[in-house]
Structure 1
Amino acid sequence: MKQPLGSVAQIAYIVDNIEEAIEKWSGFLTAGPFFVIDNFEIIDPKYRGEAMKDVNIRLALGYSGGMCIEFIEQISEGASVYSEVLAEKGYCFHHWAYMTENFDEDVQKHLDQGLEVCFSGAAGVGGRFVYMDAREQIQSMVEIIEFTPPVAEFFAMIEGASENWDGKDPIRYLT
Structure 2
Amino acid sequence: MSVAGGPVTQIAWVVADVGSAETYLGATMGAGAWTRMPEVHFGPETCTYRGQPADFTAHISLAYQGDTQLELIQPVRGTSIYTEFLERSGPGLHHLCLEPADFDAALKDAAAQGIEIVQQGDMGGQMRFAYLDGAAAGVPFLELAEIGPNMRMFFDQIKKGAR
Normalised to the residue count of structure 2, the TM-score between the two structures is: 0.88
What is the Cα deviation at residue 41 of structure 1? 3.7
Taking only the aligned residue pairs, the percentage that are identical comes to: 27
Partners of 1:130 and 1:141 in 2: CA distance: 10
Give the counterpart letter for 1:62 in structure 2: A
Is 1:138–2:121 an aligned residue pair?
Answer: no
Please give the per-residue CA displacement for 1:55-96, whole angstroms capped at 9, x wherever unaligned.
01110000011111100000014x321122222211110000
Give the counterpart letter for 2:90 in structure 1: G
Q: Which residue is equivalent to 1:47?
A: 49
Q: Which residue is equivalent to 2:59?
A: 58
The 10-residue stretch of structure 1 (28-37 or 8-17) with the greater mean CA deviation from structure 2: 28-37
1:36 touches 1:61 (CA, 8 Å); kept in 2?
A: yes
What is the Cα deviation at residue 138 of structure 1? 2.8
Q: Which residue is equivalent to 1:70?
A: 71
**Greater relative contact order (CA < 8 Å, ≥ 6 in sequence):** 1
Partners of 2:134 and 2:116 in 1: CA distance: 8
3-state SS of paired residue (2:95): strand
Indicate the RMSD between aligned Cα atoms, in angstroms.
Answer: 1.7
Normalised to the residue count of structure 1, the TM-score between the two structures is: 0.82
The 10-residue stretch of structure 1 (147-156 or 88-97) with the greater mean CA deviation from structure 2: 147-156
Partners of 1:122 and 1:67 in 2: CA distance: 22
The 10-residue stretch of structure 1 (9-18 or 148-157) with the greater mean CA deviation from structure 2: 148-157
Q: Flag structure 2 segments of 5+ consecutive residues without an equivalent.
A: none
Give the counterpart letter for 2:16 in structure 1: D
What is the number of equivalent residue pairs in this alignment? 157
Change (3 A) 1:6 1:148: farther
Q: Which residue is equivalent to 1:81?
A: 81
